[in-house]
Amino acid sequence: MAAVLPPPTLPPPARTAVVSAALTETNVRVNSDFRGDRIVLYGAVFDPAQRRSDVVVIVRGPDQPVRIARKSRVAGVWINSRPVVFQGAPGFYIAASTRPLDDIARFGVLRRLEAGVDHLAINAPAEQRTETRYGVRDVVVSRLGADYVDWRQAVVRLKEADHLYAVDEHGVRFVDKGLFRAEIALPAEAPIGRYAVRILLFQNGQPVSEKDRTLTVEKVGVERGLYLWAHQRPWSYGLAAMAFALAAGWAASFAFRRN
Amino acid sequence: MDIYLPIAEVSVNAPLLVALGALVGFISGMFGIGGGFLMTPVLVFLGIPPAVAVASMSNHVAASSMSSVISYGRKRAVDFRMGGVLAAGGAVGSVAGVELFRWLRLLGQADLVVALSYLVFLGIIGGLMFWESIGAILRRRRNTPAPPRRDRRPPWLYGLPLKMRFPRSRLYISVIPPIALGAFVGVLSAIMGVGGGFVLVPAMVYVLRMPAGVVVGTSLFQIIITTALTGVLQAGRNQTVDILLAALLLVGGVLGAQFGARASSRFRAEELRALLALIVLLVGLRMGLGLFFTPHEPFVLMSGNGG
């Protein structure tokens, strides 16, 4: 059972399994007819011993702080609580695997690798403080108290509802001996930026090999120009947008005057 | 044919947006209103982030008001002096409104305030208008004459200082009520993504007692100035104006408004008002009543990261 990761500096011994993978598309271009994309990944497992292998593909978008509020009833009206900011949440996350993650590795392993939406290292630092409890110093206490798990689960649940987080238990399929294929659905709402794609090979419940790939989602063409203009020079964009709107309205009144 | 909106960062069906613009434009041309109160909720319903919908509507409303104010101007149905005074108040209101909206977003209470504003203002205006127009329809059916209009102007309108002459409206009143009215509408325009005509027109008729002939044109003129300022401020402060969204709505909106204006001549004024009142009431209830139902999902993600 002692499948130990080799020290990273040494070349892997010949009898260790190695995973290799490539994305068929490394640049997703967001233009005016962007409606989401499907990213296909092919990879191979080289294992002379031919042990049982499981592959997990984790695609992680740029981190974005999440602001979340809870509705509560005040005087008959449902209103939002003070928003809580969660840090460390990726803007996009999908974990695709050959089998359910819980069957591939134990809790501690998955947690360390942040494999699976339940194992993402999301926390709300602004709500935390350290204090001494039962004589133990620096115990992290959250102001959200016992509800903390509910909040954390709600972040994942709402992101899943927006198709931004997903777990695909059979998203990786072996198409031939040692050759696997994964398909990642990227929704139109997926954030812009660099995505980290991590391909992990598991044997006997332990990660034995991994590869990292990057995927870039970027706006191109007019969309990129407008977006950059609106965010980098917001005042000139605002003035130009309004001038355009007023001119369009003025032109329209002339167009219909003739009729 | 779907199109990706660069600022809203969502993909929407372009012909659907144009058709919606046309439908709302038809209603706005028919009733002589801006239609923002109808369009903003529909955009939110389509999945456009509320902050983007509210801000982009400023551009749309400014453009559609521009296209109709020119024809009112030709008919000499715009009191530019009154419009200017209203707009001076509107400028103050829209600056305050954009900052207020920004602050509410930080607190996470923007949705609540938007929904409550729709419920309260559309509910009150729609209710009053419906009551009044049903009364008028019943009177016409029974052939009873309209009750004599009490032409006595509210005394506080005369007691206030800073009086000014408005020749086209045949008024000599203090500038304080129009400035306050303009400021109030400016705040509404920033928070609700509306022009504010549905508040402005009744207030000009019943409070300022302006002649009916210049009310709509003057209100449109003030709406252009206020929404133009709101739109620039929203873009500058919140980066939420999507010009592509506004342009798509405008294409349909301008066309629809022309047909709406023609269609309106086929109906009686009080029937039109009753219909408009019903639409206003329904939108207000649809936006506001959600606050009273137990939500399926107790948590809600806030757009923006608080910066």
The predicted-structure confidence for B109-158, as pLDDT tens digits, reads as follows 877 888 888 888 888 888 888 888 888 888 888 887 766 666 566 666 66
| Number of domains composing chain B | 1
- The whole-number average pLDDT for the span B277-285 is 87
Query: Which residues on A lie below 8 Å from B234 (Cβ)?
Result: 238
Query: Which residues on A lie below 8 Å from B66 (Cβ)?
Result: 245-246, 248-250, 253
Tell me, what's the pLDDT at B83? Answer: 87
- The whole-number average pLDDT for the span B269-277 is 81
Tell me, what's the pLDDT at B151? Answer: 58
* Alpha carbon distance B8, B54 (integer Å): 11
Tell me, what's the pLDDT at A92? Answer: 92
User: Which one of B235, B254, B295 has the shortest CB-CB distance to A71?
Assistant: B295
Residue B213 region by backbone torsions, left for phi larger than 0, else alpha for psi between -120 and 50, else beta: alpha
* Alpha carbon distance A157, A87 (integer Å): 16
- The whole-number average pLDDT for the span B164-180 is 80
Tens digits of per-residue pLDDT, B200-220?
888 888 788 888 778 888 888
Half-sphere exposure of B167 (CA within 13 A, CB side): 1
The answer to whether residue B233 is domain-embedded is yes
Mean of all residue pLDDT scores within chain B? 82
- The whole-number average pLDDT for the span A182-206 is 89
Tell me, what's the pLDDT at B305? Answer: 40
User: Which one of B59, B66, B108 has the shortest CB-CB distance to A241?
Assistant: B59
Q: Is the pLDDT of residue B307 over 70?
A: no
Query: Confidence band (pLDDT; 50, 70, 90) for A7?
Result: low
Query: Confidence band (pLDDT; 50, 70, 90) for B306?
Result: very low
Asked whether the beta carbons of B25 and B64 are under 8 A apart, the reply is: yes
What number is the ipTM of this complex?
0.81
Spatial CB neighbours of B31, under 8 Å, sequence gap ≥ 6? B260, B264, B272, B273, B275, B276
Asked whether the beta carbons of B53 and B192 are under 8 A apart, the reply is: no
A36: distance to nearest CA of chain B, Å? 9
Side chain identity, residue B3: I
Q: Is the pLDDT of residue A74 over 70?
A: yes
**What are the Cα distances from residue B88, in Å, to B76, B82, B180, B210, B225?**
21, 10, 10, 18, 9
The answer to whether residue B302 is domain-embedded is no
Q: Does A188 touch chain B (CB under 8 A)?
A: yes
The answer to whether residue B82 is domain-embedded is yes
The answer to whether residue B110 is domain-embedded is yes
The answer to whether residue B298 is domain-embedded is no
Side chain identity, residue B265: S
% of chain B at pLDDT higher than 70? 93
Per the DSSP assignment, residues forming a β-bridge with A209 are A201
**A227 vs A197, residue with greater confidence:** A197
User: Which one of B3, B109, B243 has the shortest CB-CB distance to A244?
Assistant: B243
- The whole-number average pLDDT for the span B173-200 is 84
* Alpha carbon distance B252, B166 (integer Å): 36
- The whole-number average pLDDT for the span B170-181 is 82
Spatial CB neighbours of B201, under 8 Å, sequence gap ≥ 6? B32, B33, B215, B216, B219
- The whole-number average pLDDT for the span B284-288 is 84
Q: Is the pLDDT of residue A154 over 60?
A: yes
* Alpha carbon distance A106, A96 (integer Å): 17
Tell me, what's the pLDDT at B6? Answer: 81
Tell me, what's the pLDDT at A95? Answer: 92
- The whole-number average pLDDT for the span B183-192 is 87
The answer to whether residue B236 is domain-embedded is yes
Query: Which residues on B lie below 8 Å from A127 (Cβ)?
Result: none
% of chain A at pLDDT higher than 90? 22
Query: Which residues on B lie below 8 Å from A233 (Cβ)?
Result: none
Query: Confidence band (pLDDT; 50, 70, 90) for A243?
Result: very high
**Is A241 in contact with B60 (Cβ distance < 8 A)?**
no
Tell me, what's the pLDDT at A194? Answer: 92
Q: Is the pLDDT of residue A259 over 70?
A: no
Angle at CA A87, nearest 5°, toward A82 and A90? 120
**Long-range own/partner contacts, residues B296-299 (CB < 8 A, 24 or more apart):** B297/A154, B297/A157, B297/A158, B297/A161, B298/A70, B298/A71, B298/A72, B298/A154, B299/A68, B299/A69, B299/A70, B299/A71, B299/A151, B299/A154, B299/A155, B299/A157, B299/A158
- The whole-number average pLDDT for the span B33-39 is 79
Q: Does A243 touch chain B (CB under 8 A)?
A: no
**A10 vs A64, residue with greater confidence:** A64
Q: Is the pLDDT of residue A2 over 70?
A: no
Q: Does A258 touch chain B (CB under 8 A)?
A: no
The answer to whether residue B75 is domain-embedded is yes
Asked whether the beta carbons of A62 and A196 are under 8 A apart, the reply is: no
* Bridge pairing between strands B171-174 and B163-166: antiparallel
Tell me, what's the pLDDT at A165? Answer: 92
- The whole-number average pLDDT for the span B237-257 is 85
The answer to whether residue B306 is domain-embedded is no
**Is B71 in contact with A253 (Cβ distance < 8 A)?**
yes
B255: distance to nearest CA of chain A, Å? 9
Q: What are the b/e assignments for A149-185, b being 16+ CB within 10 Å?
A: eebbebbbebbeeebbbbbebebbebeeebebbbebb
- The whole-number average pLDDT for the span B39-66 is 84
Q: Which domains does chain A have, with CATH numbers?
A: 18-68+85-123+148-219 (2.60.40.1930), 220-259 (no CATH)
**B306 vs B116, residue with greater confidence:** B116
Angle between helices B110-117 and B50-74 (to 10 degrees): 40
The first and second tokens of residue A11, run together, are 């070349």
Q: Is the pLDDT of residue A220 over 90?
A: no
Tell me, what's the pLDDT at B150? Answer: 60
Total count of residues recorded for chain B: 307
User: Which one of B7, B10, B292 has the shortest CB-CB distance to A230?
Assistant: B7
Tell me, what's the pLDDT at A9? Answer: 58
Q: Does A134 touch chain B (CB under 8 A)?
A: no
Q: Is the pLDDT of residue B2 over 60?
A: yes
What is the maximal distance between C-alpha atoms in chain B? 62
- The whole-number average pLDDT for the span B5-23 is 85
CB atoms within 10 A of CB A206: 16
Q: Does A228 touch chain B (CB under 8 A)?
A: no
Q: Does A31 touch chain B (CB under 8 A)?
A: yes
**Is A68 in contact with B232 (Cβ distance < 8 A)?**
no
**Is B228 in contact with A246 (Cβ distance < 8 A)?**
yes
**B298 vs B153, residue with greater confidence:** B298
Q: List, in sequence order, the alpha helices (H) in B160-264.
A: 176-192, 197-206, 212-233, 243-263
Tell me, what's the pLDDT at B155? Answer: 66
Tell me, what's the pLDDT at A96? Answer: 92
Q: Is the pLDDT of residue A157 over 50?
A: yes
Q: Does A29 touch chain B (CB under 8 A)?
A: no
Asked whether the beta carbons of B203 and B68 are under 8 A apart, the reply is: no
Q: Is the pLDDT of residue A6 over 60?
A: no
Quote the domain boundaries for residue B12: 2-145+152-291
Tell me, what's the pLDDT at B172? Answer: 78
Side chain identity, residue A75: A
- The whole-number average pLDDT for the span A203-230 is 88
Tens digits of per-residue pLDDT, A93-151?
999 999 998 889 999 899 888 888 888 888 777 776 666 667 776 666 666 667 778 88
Query: Which residues on A lie below 8 Å from B291 (Cβ)?
Result: 77-79
